[in-house]
Amino acid sequence: EVQLVESGGGLVQPGGSLTLSCAASGFTFSDWSMNWARQAPGRGLEWISYIRGGSDVIYYADSVRGRFTISRDNAKNSLYLQMDSLRDEDTALYYCTRSIEYGLGPSWGRGIFVTVSS
Amino acid sequence: QSALTQPASVSGSPGQSIAISCTGTRSDVGGYNYVSWYQQLPGKAPKLLIYEVTSRPSGVSDRFSGSKSGNTASLTISGLQAEDDGDYYCSSFTSARTIVFGPGTKVTVL
């Protein structure tokens, strides 16, 4: 069974940093591109970042470029999102997803909350 | 503000077919066959329904189908069922090497 489990969320002050992790199981992690996406409370979906299996291709949304860094460790079957210079508007439920031809899926994690507030 | 536009809501009776549009530009929907559709039921994570405009992941019902004409993609739900009630989003790869989502469409089964 494919599982994606996010961790590392929580409350952080504006300007602070946080690192999210996503533990993957049930599939050959290195064969799959991965994404991070988020959803602010009561709002729609927002794609954040994409990384190919070999980490040779990485893309970011304009809203996070220069502040967030995506990475992966294929030996540990893990995906990461280093988030720096956090802003109030980064408050959201963050999802880890597999990627199929730039579609987010077919697997999504349950999500992890990040709250940026003083 | 989303780069893609979707109707805010679409409704239909059980058994009917409905279509949801997703309009972009030549820089996204019209320029790439990387349009995807998602279903999000209340309190749940999104589910990928369609990728590459028309392809369905394993396990997704064939009641869901996708198409594209020019800068507009569409998701058709055939044989509407009560469990289809929820929010539906489209996304597209863009010339800026990003992925953009539409604002979402609320589907109501009457």
pLDDT in tens, A59-95: 999 999 999 999 999 999 999 999 999 999 999 999 9
Question: Cβ contact (<8 Å) for A101 and B40?
Answer: no
pLDDT surpassing 80 at residue B1? no
Q: What is the pLDDT of residues B29-80, one digit of tens each?
A: 999 999 999 999 999 999 999 999 999 999 999 999 999 999 999 999 999 9
Which among B24, B32, B13, B41 has a CA at the least distance from the CA of B90? B24
Mean pLDDT of the B24-32 span: 96
Q: Label the pairing between strands A112-116 and A103-108.
A: unpaired
The answer, for A63 touching chain B at a CB cutoff of 8 Å, is no
Q: Quick one: pLDDT band at residue A101, thresholds 50, 70, 90?
A: confident
CA angle (B43 as vertex; B7, A21 as ends), nearest 5: 105
Give me the total of CB pairs closer than 8 Å, taking one residue from chain A and one from chain B: 76
Mean pLDDT of the B4-12 span: 97
Question: Cβ contact (<8 Å) for B101 and A109?
Answer: no
B80: closest CA of chain A, how far (Å) = 22
B4: closest CA of chain A, how far (Å) = 12
pLDDT at B91: 97
φ, ψ (nearest 5 deg) of residue A74:
-65, -30
Question: Cβ contact (<8 Å) for B101 and A111?
Answer: no
Mean pLDDT of the A26-55 span: 97
Sheet with A68-73, side-by-side order of all strands: A3-7, A18-25, A78-83, A68-73
CA–CA gap between residue A52 and residue B87 (Å, rounded): 28
Mean pLDDT of the A106-115 span: 96
> Which of A3, A49, A60, A102 should we substitute to test contact with B (largest number of B Cβ atoms within 10 Å)?
A102
Q: Quick one: pLDDT band at residue B2, thresholds 50, 70, 90?
A: low
Task: Give the CB-side neighbour count of residue B90, counting CA atoms within 13 A.
Answer: 36
